[in-house]
Each structure stands twice: as C-alpha cells, then as structure tokens.
Amino acid sequence: MTPKPYPDRVSGNNMRQSRLNTNNDRRKFWESLTAEKDDFILKDALRMIDPVSAKVLTWHYTEGYSFQEITGLLQRSISTVRNYHNRGMFELQQYYWAKNELPANLRIS
C-alpha cells in the first residue's frame, strides 16, 4: 500500500455545510487566522490541506493575486482555481474546527 502524498490531510465531503458562503465571509476567516494565530500555526495548517489549494490561498490572500492572475500561474481555468480556493478554505475550516480553535460563529453545525 502506497502512502498518501499528504497523510494528515483534513478533508470533508459536504462543502455546503460550510458557513463561509460569501467572499466577505472567506476574507474575514482568513484575516482572523492571520491576526489571531501564530504564523507557524497557519503554515502548519496549510501543510495539512491540498498543496495546490494552499498555494491558491496564499497567493490570493497574502500576495494579493486575483483569481485571473493565478490562472496564469497554474495554467488552469478560472473555475478550477476557484474550486481550489473553496476547497482550501473548507479544509482550513475543518482543520481549525477539529482543533477547537475555530471561532464559534464560523463552526459547522
């Protein structure tokens, strides 16, 4: 049996359960992670999710790239880049929720 490329990856099957439904919600969630958490903790969380999703999140929120600019970097369609973004946000939310470090208003019910 071959090991998974990222064995500690946190994932979820039902993204509709996420309370990060709007761009504003996702932006606030990212800002809360960077404001309240140690940089090492966020980097550790980003290592636990899909590597491409982690790159998209970092480029979009930290580096300030638009989704259109990221499509050029990844050579993928804009819908694929947005899917990586949404999946990454959901996986980060799951990671922090599992550690009981997610603010109550963002927890999945």
Predicted confidence (pLDDT) per residue in 32-41, tens digit: 777 755 667 7
Domain hosting 40: range is 33-103
Query: Is residue 64 assigned to a domain?
Result: yes
The pLDDT tens digits for 53-104 are 999 999 998 899 999 999 999 999 999 999 999 999 889 888 877 776 655 5
Query: Is residue 58 assigned to a domain?
Result: yes
Residue 20 CA: distances (Å) to CA of 14, 59, 89:
13, 19, 8
Query: Is residue 37 assigned to a domain?
Result: yes
H helices, E strands: number in the chain: 5, 0
Q: Does residue 91 contact residue 9 with C-beta atoms inside 8 Å?
A: yes
The conformational region for residue 95 under phi > 0 = left, psi -120 to 50 = alpha, else beta, is alpha
Tokens representing 42 are 């966020």
Query: Is residue 81 assigned to a domain?
Result: yes
The pLDDT tens digits for 96-107 are 777 766 555 555
Our count of domains for the chain comes to 1
The CATH number of the domain holding residue 55 is 1.10.10.10
Query: Is residue 26 assigned to a domain?
Result: no
Query: Is residue 5 assigned to a domain?
Result: no
